[in-house]
Structure 1
Amino acid sequence: MAGTGAILCVINVAILAILVGRFVFLNDDQTEDLPVTKFEESYDYIVVGSGSAGSVVAARLSEDRDVTVLVLEAGPDDRGNIHLTIPSDAAGFQHTKLDWEYYTEPQQYRVYVPRGRVVGGSSQLNFMVHVRGNRFDFDKWAANGCDGWSYEDVLPYFKKYEDMADEELAKSGIRLLQKLLKTDVLKNIGARLHSTPMPQCTQHQYDSDEYWQCYVRVLTICAFHQCCTCKMGALNDPTAVVDPQLRVKGIDGLRVADASIMPLIVSANTNAASIMIGEKAADIIKGNK
């Protein structure tokens, strides 16, 4: 079905950064306490940025103990910061040292663009929301010259790092919320579930499992999901910056693996797709695909 890729669950994606076997934190506040104190004269791989994709690339490449991996991260270590594990605290990291605090170039208005400046990158500012996107998003990538990036191709990489349930978890969350709404605390403040039917789901009886399954598939919103500035495409595509192997055209030994390579934005939060890109990039680099 069209919405099977739009899977909503809650997952602490930032924990992926812990998988990194070797990193260097260029930390403004703790330069004397770097996790790595001995540096090699050269490295097999240098990963610039330990964000959603970069952390995965470094982690997977580091599984091979015969190679050396260097990770460069401008932000601080995330370990020991309990607030980074609390979804509701994510907004509190905006406009702090953990945020690059970008703004768009002024036209009529300037738009604030928060980006994570910490191990884990923008996944740390992501409220721990995890949404794959629609399967047709990735099929469009493949149709536009990105061979090997169809939904069938990338699904194994989503599954490789996911550990939580699919639509079932979202439906269970709604049922739990309904139970909480029956408690005296919430009844006393008049809390209630929004009951206006979702137009796309009127074929199902309201409040049935089928209705909520439809609901969580079609109700999607996006915010702060910048992407597509380093487009992936076919070798003969003049608008593409990287090829389907993520190699930057005209430069040897340089690949890009993050949300910027998306040829089209996914119809969902971009963090899950960015992690998938990291997983697939690691396999490409290792020669598995």
Structure 2
Amino acid sequence: MRMDVLTLFPEMFEGVFHSSILGKAREKGIVNLHAVNFRDYAGNKHGSVDDTPYGGGGGMVLKPEPIFHAVEDLLERRREAGEEAGRPPRIILMCPQGESFTQRKAEELAAEDHLIFICGHYEGYDERIREHLVTDELSIGDYVLTGGELPAMVIIDSVTRLLPGVLGNEMSAVTDSFSTGMLEYPHYTRPVEFRGWKVPDILLSGHHANVADWRRKEALRRTWQRRPDLLENLDLSPKDRKWLEEFEKESGRNMQE
């Protein structure tokens, strides 16, 4: 996979692209990551990429020309190098007005060949960028940051770890929180006892079916406690429903006590 980031601050990505999981994925050749300064495509002697909004108002708006030209140049360079993918790239606008980014979206994007992220600053984007260039608008939460760089880093990390060969254990991504529709079950490791707190006996039993049952139950319990909204979209088995009833009864007893 190739990921290009259009940004006014490419230096922000240096540490991220060369560290930890992303750095290893680049070294293995699983993902190509590039940060492009779209100021280089400003087309004026001042390198100006923004202007005042028509109709008045505060702040500055990113102009369409630099961003269109940057995307078009990226695609042309790929064609000339014979690297053009079979499918057109997903061009993603980082924007607080966009669709909320989820694990499902990460899985969808991980199936693509080429992603281009556009990171804005200032008051906003010229609307023609939204209407005629991008394929997706994504937000990582209902709050506003100074630019799209940090959200782009979050999404790039989330997508990259799903690519085959990136994680040492391929099952890690499969059992992550949200990948199953629920929050992940609790984890334990050595020592068996720490300051009087012991690992649940069932995890030491070596009985794989019982361990799998316990993990499912505890994932369901954690989801019920912390994100009950997720249960609305889950395909619950009769055993799951029985466990939920059990949690409700335990909660009622605890409140009475």
Shared fold, TM over 0.5: no
Output the TM-score relative to the length of structure 1.
0.27
Output the TM-score relative to the length of structure 2.
0.30
Structure with the higher fraction of residues in helix conformation:
2
Q: Which protein has the larger Cα radius of gyration, Structure 1 or Structure 2? A: 2
Higher relative contact order by CA 8 Å / sep ≥ 6: 1 or 2? 1
